[in-house]
Chains A and B, each alone.
Chain A
Amino acid sequence: MIDILQIFLSESFWAASLRIASPLIFGVLGTLLCERAGVLNLGIEGIFVVGAMTGWMAVWLGAPLPVGVLAAALAGALFGLFHSVLTVPLGLSQHVSGLGITLFASSLASFAYRTALPQVSSPPRIEPFRSLDVPILSDLPFFGTVLFQQTALTWLALIMVGVVWWIMDRTPLGVALKAVGDNPEAVNAQGLSVIRLRMGAVVAGSSLMALGGAFLTMSAFDAFFFGMVNGRGWICIALVIFASWQPGKALVGALLFGMFDALQVRLQTEAGALVPHQVFLMMPFILSIIALVIVARRADYPRALLTPWFRGQR
């Protein structure tokens, strides 16, 4: 018990929690945008891979880090555009299209990586984002370490929470986006384009997802590995339900998840001799399922989620 208390009191634990949460914040926000507009995006897992690969590759080819981030977001937007064309104007199965995008995006990214680097035994490294050293603030006790020694990408994730919240809750665009996921016919009656709103949300959401992937290769690590996304995208699909499709709760959900994952890693070193380490590796996935089951009954899904909309048809 004392050990666990010590973990919770340590600065490095909270810093790690926020670091682990960062890609999930991007991913949950992206999922939130898509689903609020009425489109399930199971392409997320593949879009994470594409974002991770593209961002890393751009920097490896000599681009500055921010350009790498933009490249990742652009690649994510392209796959989002693909998914949105299939599911919005064509109204095809969102499940199947999303899984298709995941398979296509991850195999394309892996193929591109292998084709560009046919014979490397160890993955080449880039110089990743460094932690921001803000004068004075970084030297604060506790908060200095937890908040002000994170990388720019973690800060971007936190800022995006505010941006998405502001758009959803404070702008006419947000009102339209939420309406298009609940009652597209009403939006159409207002003279707004259901198709454009939904496609825009999926494209924007997918580029956020790709940033989640880019965080992995450009901030958390400094290289691209096959299988490095390892289900993080799927976890975001669970987290957004847990977060009731609200940006603030999405942040809380991602942070809670980051805490459990950071705790799991620390317990592994503490209790590694008693319990196989795989038990700890399973924990994040098991917790995601438990969280999903707890909230499932009262989950307030966007009412038109999964329902395609065609002009002149009710």
Chain B
Amino acid sequence: MSNLLSIADLSRKEIERFLDRAESFAEVSGREIKKVPTLRGRRVLNLFYEASTRTRSSFELAAKTLSAEVINFAASGSSVEKGESLKDTVQTMSAYDPAAIVIRHPHAGAAALVAGWTSAAVINAGDGKREHPTQALLDVYTLRRRLGALDGAKIWIVGDVMHSRVARSNIIAFQAMGAEVTVCGPPTLIPRGVEALGCSVAYSLDGVSDADVIYSLRMQNERMTESYIPSLREYARCFQIDGRRLTPRQILMHPGPVNRGVELSAEVIDSPQAVITEQVKAGVVVRMAVLYELLAGSGPSAITPDPSQPSVASERQPA
């Protein structure tokens, strides 16, 4: 594997390889000196065309923990504002010879396009409303730590499924790991034909008590002005996860940032069932694992060493 563009490209085995690698990095994160020399001398380019807090910072932390040099590129304040095309920006930045390009872009398929224009490993950090594969990996990682395995787990994804790349990647990833997925939200925010992805659809939270895991999605204010929903107040009444709806045996997840009082009530955010900060922590080790597997990983799916680069094998370090 030379790129990570979509969760749909990964088999269960491949997902598990990332998770196992992340487990081994969890120990590093617990050390006082959080650094290993694995990617010393290699460059990781963060190419962000959209605002991002946790994805960008966790990729940066992951790369730095592996001793890579990190270049952060944000579209605002850059040549993009002068009208440079994505292709030209990628080719320009590729001239700095990064080992990996981490890309976040407002449009679907951008990461795959970038992969065609560079020899660096490309990691999709969110392409439009399509996919967010590292989010799915860290969510599966977090759940596996809690549950041991996802097989047979009933997972409800609640909220604005239509506009959510997290929902798309997680529907695929959770099912690949053996879970049963139900998406739930108002019909205006459930995309047409979503059943084709293999999940069930519910338009109310009536059956949510059966769920082992509730994965709540961010509800954005603009959905109201676009009249997908009549009001946030009514939305909260129908779809908010609160102390009444969340049972003690359930796990509550959210990709952040949370709209307190909209999709989640304050009491559940701070409840023991919520694993939201564990998800954030997992973000670093899972992204370390992704960088490691793409840049230094071994086995048949490792990248072919570029003859112009020093051998990958000689830099490989025990994790």
To the question of whether A and B form a pair in one complex, the answer is no
Q: Which residue numbers of B lie inside 8 Å of A, CB to CB? A: none
Q: Which residue numbers of A lie inside 8 Å of B, CB to CB? A: none
